[in-house]
């Protein structure tokens, strides 16, 4: 056996260089390391959580399994081996010891380093006193203002407020023991301290979260989110699903968490708690009452609005149109290798929910009383990990099962099977699949990740799925294929490049046939990216290509080239500039171009047509307590004289905006 202390000294030579590069890791880059799909847009809550971890890393000598599971790039075996290493050898003395943990490869360690640390002081075993919470707690205030230099058509007659967007956030936390905060937001076009918003902002949100107070593991008051099992019963947190990484396919239950984002739809409002009834058994209960937006006709709810926009008289009339009550619970048994849980949820509308009946939504539930109940499991033994959940609703059933096997340190296989009945309906569910909700879908997904050579990482995945009933724009049962491949090359800690390829085949109704004719569509997407990350200078070059064709119709292509330059000065000033050229024939060949956003934001809009997109971002930090960020962006189209449609129509071929954000910590 290699001497532990001698190995640590040798490992430090390599770790030192890694730390230099990782210290410059941005939040956007962190999300890309998690395998984020460019089509995902609601990252605010997850980015805020990652940002918190970058500022207050997890202590490897006290970190729990549940905390490690929130880092999606860690596999179950890596988490198990890390905890086992600490149990056998005692406290870690340095981050270099991560190299001695079984299954911990260099790439995973690179990802992990920004979010962890090693503290040799005795861990805190008692919940802090109130005096300590008030004196040593950390607070921050964040405000954001977006100013558009264009006018949409809706402001001529319909939009009742100013075109500026504004939000204000206050947050307090003492480690993970206590978190609370207030969020206020006004969307563009909504009035402020006027008309329907005479009390100020359009939306307010408050959260209070208490952790590890003896037998009380979690207490949430105000706005919160839930995630249990594999998400078939309830999960209103982000699910990564299919990405260019094997470890992100599995839904890891976070239990009860705070809601601090500006999302006005996807959360609960009320109270929730988790307490320990036995040593390995935890019981959770939750209740929520919310007024929500929707369209009501003849005392019947016909649609549920999810945008949170209240710009026009019609949108304001739909505000708080109905009440939703929800109650439920979860009981979970957790041991070192096995976890078993049961989750139940019951929710009611204060008026019947009767959406307009279409053929594709024939089997969606109608009424005002609904329920879902599910049983989930997770099991880990050596290199094998199993997870799954089976659920039943008021009608229909759903199940998902996953098996992962690590052949060796550098080879990992994952197989996922899901069956979501066409008549299974769950308002708050989100799990693995092609669509956003677990309904009307079944299929097999197989993925493999390997490092056959030094500096190389390969990924391949294929998803074969089918829908037994109609879907939107598909007027018959249908099938689909999704193939994903990625090759990553990292010759050193500063340079990296990767190539991705994705092929999607699905069916779609032929336009103007009224659903009588349906043909297959095929889409090819390719990306090449090279990135250099020095101590001060970072640059990134990206090429994207898309090819789309529906059988019997003309094909469409799209391509783009993007260059990003970032420079960090020795004093706390950081500048970045990005320019893109895009050319896409139609919306089906659209391109997604991500760029650096403000704090806790990930900006990745889609573009089609022909034009340029450029942006410049400046970030300045004063005395580590005050951060000011300004971002200027402009999109210029060469093939049109107007942008958008309807009330969002912009007269002209340019779209220019300025975003500003201020964060103060104290």
The token pair at 141 is: 């205030």
Mean pLDDT for all residues in the chain: 86
- Could you tell me if 268 and 292 are in contact, meaning their C-beta atoms sit under 8 angstroms apart? no
- Listed range (31-45, 123-137, 219-233, 260-274) with the worst mean pLDDT: 31-45
DSSP single-letter state for residue 235:
B
- Listed range (116-120, 321-325, 486-490, 578-582) with the worst mean pLDDT: 116-120
pLDDT of residue 409: 79
Per the confidence metrics, is the pTM higher than 0.75?
yes
**Residue range 520-527: mean pLDDT, rounded:** 96
How far CA 79 is from CA of 88, 112, 252, 441, in Å, comes to: 14, 12, 13, 31
The token pair at 34 is: 């998690």
Listed residue (228, 219, 274) closest to 373, CA to CA:
228
The token pair at 487 is: 């090759």
Return d(Cα 364, Cα 301) in angstroms, integer.
Answer: 14
Residue 34 has pLDDT above 70, yes or no: no
Residue 41 has pLDDT above 70, yes or no: no
Render pLDDT for 536-564 as a digit per residue (tens, 0 to 9): 899 999 999 999 999 989 999 999 999 99
Listed residue (39, 91, 33) closest to 61, CA to CA:
91
Return d(Cα 427, Cα 345) in angstroms, integer.
Answer: 10
The token pair at 338 is: 């096995």
Within 13 Å, how many C-alpha atoms sit on residue 189's CB side? 20
In 3-state terms the chain splits into helix, strand, coil percentages (rounded to 5) of 15, 50, 35
Render pLDDT for 583-615 as a digit per residue (tens, 0 to 9): 999 999 999 998 888 887 777 888 999 999 999
Count other Cβ atoms within 10 Å, centred on residue 10: 11
pLDDT of residue 12: 38
Residue 30 has pLDDT above 50, yes or no: no
- Could you tell me if 401 and 230 are in contact, meaning their C-beta atoms sit under 8 angstroms apart? no
Residue 655 has pLDDT above 70, yes or no: yes
Q: How far is CA 594 from the centre of its chain?
A: 15
- Could you tell me if 617 and 628 are in contact, meaning their C-beta atoms sit under 8 angstroms apart? no
Q: Which residues, other chains included, contact 143 with Cβ-Cβ below 8 Å and sequence gap of 6+?
A: 166, 167, 168, 169, 661, 662
Residue 405 has pLDDT above 70, yes or no: yes
Render pLDDT for 458-485 as a digit per residue (tens, 0 to 9): 999 999 999 999 988 899 999 999 999 9
- Could you tell me if 591 and 544 are in contact, meaning their C-beta atoms sit under 8 angstroms apart? yes
Residue 21 has pLDDT above 70, yes or no: no
- Could you tell me if 580 and 565 are in contact, meaning their C-beta atoms sit under 8 angstroms apart? no
pLDDT of residue 126: 67
Share of the chain above pLDDT 90, in %: 58
- Could you tell me if 101 and 78 are in contact, meaning their C-beta atoms sit under 8 angstroms apart? yes
Return d(Cα 364, Cα 359) in angstroms, integer.
Answer: 10
pLDDT of residue 311: 94
**Residue range 443-457: mean pLDDT, rounded:** 92
Helices (H), 34-158: 44-55, 65-69, 76-89, 106-112, 130-136
What is the residue extent of each domain of the chain? 4-117
Render pLDDT for 221-264 as a digit per residue (tens, 0 to 9): 999 999 999 999 999 887 767 887 777 777 778 899 999 988 89
Render pLDDT for 48-97 as a digit per residue (tens, 0 to 9): 776 767 777 888 888 888 788 778 778 777 888 888 888 787 888 888 88
Residue 388 has pLDDT above 90, yes or no: yes
pLDDT of residue 123: 60
Render pLDDT for 140-170 as a digit per residue (tens, 0 to 9): 999 999 999 999 999 998 999 999 999 999 9
What residue ranges in 382-455 does DSSP mark as E strands? Answer: 384-393, 397-408, 411-420, 441-450
Listed residue (441, 322, 420) closest to 374, CA to CA:
420
Q: Which residues, other chains included, contact 365 with Cβ-Cβ below 8 Å and sequence gap of 6+?
A: 353, 393, 394, 395, 425
């Amino acid at each position: 056996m290699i001497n532990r202390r001698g190995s640590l000294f040798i490992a430090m030579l390599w770790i030192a260089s890694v730390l230099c590069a990782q210290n410059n890791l941005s939040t956007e880059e962190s999300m890309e390391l998690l395998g984020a799909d460019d089509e995902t847009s609601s990252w605010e809550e997850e980015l805020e959580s990652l940002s918190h971890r970058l500022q207050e890393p997890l202590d490897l000598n006290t970190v729990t399994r549940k905390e490690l599971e929130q880092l999606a790039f860690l596999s179950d075996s890596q988490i198990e081996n890390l905890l086992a290493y600490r149990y056998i050898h005692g406290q870690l003395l340095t981050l270099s010891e991560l190299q001695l943990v079984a299954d911990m490869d260099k790439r995973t360690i690179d990802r992990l380093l920004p979010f962890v640390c090693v503290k040799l002081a005795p861990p805190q075993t008692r919940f802090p006193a109130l005096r300590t919470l008030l004196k040593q707690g950390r607070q921050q205030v964040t405000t954001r203002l977006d100013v558009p230099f264009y006018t949409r058509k809706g402001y001529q007659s319909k939009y009742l407020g100013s075109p500026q967007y504004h939000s204000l956030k206050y947050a307090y936390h003492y480690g993970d023991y206590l978190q609370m905060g207030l969020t206020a937001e006004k969307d563009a076009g909504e009035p402020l301290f006027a008309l329907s918003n005479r009390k100020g902002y359009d939306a307010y949100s408050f959260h209070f979260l208490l952790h590890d107070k003896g037998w009380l593991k979690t207490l949430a008051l105000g706005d919160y989110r839930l995630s249990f099992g594999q998400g078939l019963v309830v999960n209103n947190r982000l699910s990564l699903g299919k990405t260019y990484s094997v470890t992100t396919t599995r839904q890891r239950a976070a239990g009860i968490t705070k809601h601090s984002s500006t999302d006005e739809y996807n959360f609960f409002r009320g109270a929730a708690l988790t307490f320990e009834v036995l040593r390995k058994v935890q019981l959770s209960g939750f209740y929520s009452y919310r007024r929500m937006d929707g369209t009501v006709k003849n005392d019947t709810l016909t649609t549920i609005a999810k945008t949170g926009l209240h710009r026009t008289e019609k949108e304001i009339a739909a505000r708080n149109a109905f009440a939703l009550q929800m109650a439920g619970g979860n009981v979970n048994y957790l041991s070192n290798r096995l976890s078993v849980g049961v989750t139940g949820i019951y929710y009611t509308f204060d008026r019947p929910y009767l959406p307009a009946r279409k053929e594709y939504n024939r089997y969606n539930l109608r009424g005002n009383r609904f329920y879902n109940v599910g049983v989930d499991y997770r099991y880990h033994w050596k290199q094998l990990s199993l997870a799954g959940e089976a659920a039943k609703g008021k009608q229909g059933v759903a199940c998902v099962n996953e098996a992962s096997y690590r052949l060796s340190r550098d080879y990992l296989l994952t197989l996922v099977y899901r069956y979501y009945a066409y008549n299974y309906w769950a308002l708050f569910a989100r799990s693995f699949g092609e669509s956003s909700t677990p309904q009307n879908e079944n299929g097999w997904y197989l993925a493999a990740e390997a490092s056959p050579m030094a500096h190389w990482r390969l990924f391949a995945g294929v998803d074969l799925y089918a829908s037994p009933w109609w879907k939107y724009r598909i007027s018959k049962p249908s099938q689909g294929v999704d193939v994903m491949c990625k090759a990553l090359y990292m010759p050193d800690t500063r340079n990296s490049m990767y190539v991705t390829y994705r092929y999607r085949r699905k069916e779609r109704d032929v336009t103007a046939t009224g659903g009588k004719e349906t043909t297959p569509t095929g889409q090819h997407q390719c990306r090449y990216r090279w990135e250099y990350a020095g101590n001060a200078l970072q640059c990134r070059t990206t090429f994207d290509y898309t090819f789309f064709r529906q059988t019997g119709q003309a094909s469409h292509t799209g391509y783009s080239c993007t260059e990003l330059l970032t420079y960090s000065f020795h004093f706390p000033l950081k500048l970045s500039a990005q320019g893109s050229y895009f050319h896409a024939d139609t919306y089906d060949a659209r391109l997604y171009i991500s760029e650096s956003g403000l704090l806790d934001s990930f900006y990745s809009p889609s573009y089609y047509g022909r034009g340029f997109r450029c942006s410049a971002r400046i970030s300045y930090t004063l005395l580590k307590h005050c951060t000011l960020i300004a971002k200027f962006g402009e999109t210029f189209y060469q093939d049109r004289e107007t942008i958008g449609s309807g009330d969002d129509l912009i007269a002209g071929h340019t779209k220019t905006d300025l975003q500003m954000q201020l964060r103060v910590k104290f």
